[in-house]
Amino acid sequence: MRIGVITFPGTLDDRDAARAVVHGGAEAISLWHADADLKNVDAVILPGGFSYGDYLRCGAISRFAPVMKLVIEAANKGMPVLGICNGFQVLCESHLLPGALTRNSDLHFLCRDQEIEIINNSTAWTSSFTQGEKITIPLKNGEGSFQCDEATLAMLEGEGRVIARYVGENPNGSRNLIAGISNAQGNVVGLMPHPEHAIDALTGPSDQGLGFFTSILNAMVN
C-alpha cells in the first residue's frame, strides 16, 4: 500500500504526514509539486502548510501545480485523497470539494488542541472511527472558516458529506461547525484540524488522529 505525500513549496507538515502514514501501516511516497507522475501510489495526502506562501488565496496557486492535474484526474476516477488544512484549501480551489476556506472569524491564527466529532465514518479516510466518536487533535490555521452558499450547505448536510464537526464553541466561524467534508463518492476528504500531529501520545495531545491513516488501509484492503 503506497500513499503519496505531496510537498509544495511552503508545505510544512509533509514529514509528519509521512510519519503518520508509516505508523498507520503503509509506505509513504514523497511526491513533489512539479512531478509529472504519481509513482504508482494508491492514495494521496495533501498536507498542511503555506503552499506558495498562501499568495493570492490559500491553495489558489497550488491548484495549478503539475502534480495536481494528475491528482484531480485520479481523484475523479476514485483514488482516495485526503487534504489536511492547506491541503483542504487546495482541494476546494481544485473544485474536488465544494465551498471555500476563509479567514478565521476573529482574525487570529489559532493553534490549540480541538475536540471534533466524527459525523460520517463511511468515507475512505474515516472508517476506523465510530459514528459520533469524539477525538482531540491539533487545530492550527489562520484561514479555517468553511464557507459555502445555502444550497451547497443543504446538499452537504443532506448527503451526509459533513465528515467531522467542531465540538463546543465555533473556533473559526465555519458554517454548521464544519471541520471536514467529503466528495459525493467519499474518496476525497478535506479536514481542517491535523490528525497527523496526533498519532502518538509522546508528540501530540492524543493518538486519536491515527484513525485517518488506518482507515485508508481498510478501504484499500476491503
Partner 1 sequence: MATIVVEVMLKPEILDPQGNAVASALPRLGFTFATSVRQGKRFEIEIDGEPTAAQLLEVEKAAEVLLSNPVIETYVVRVEK
Closest to partner 1 by CB, 79 or 101: 101
Nearest approach, Cβ of residue 25 and partner 1 (Å): 36
Residues of the shown chain interacting with partner 1 in the complex, contacts defined by CB under 8 A: 56-57, 60, 64, 92-93, 98-100, 102-107, 145, 147-149, 173
Question: Exactly one of 85, 93, 115, 197 is catalytic; which is it?
Answer: 85
Question: Exactly one of 58, 92, 93, 194 is catalytic; which is it?
Answer: 194
Nearest approach, Cβ of residue 108 and partner 1 (Å): 10
DSSP class per residue in the chain: -EEEEEE-TTB-SHHHHHHHHHHHTSEEEEEETT-SS-TT-SEEEE--B-GGGG-SSTTTTGGGSHHHHHHHHHHHTT--EEEETHHHHHHHHTTSSSSEEE--TT-PPEEEEEEEEE----STTTTTSPTT-EEEEEEEESS-EEE--HHHHHHHHHTT-EEEEE-SS-SS--GGGEEEEE-TTSSEEEESS-GGG-SSTTTSS-SGGGHHHHHHHHHHH-
Q: Is 196 a catalytic residue?
A: yes
Nearest approach, Cβ of residue 41 and partner 1 (Å): 28
Q: Is 58 a catalytic residue?
A: no
Q: Is 95 a catalytic residue?
A: no
Residues designated as active site: 85, 194, 196
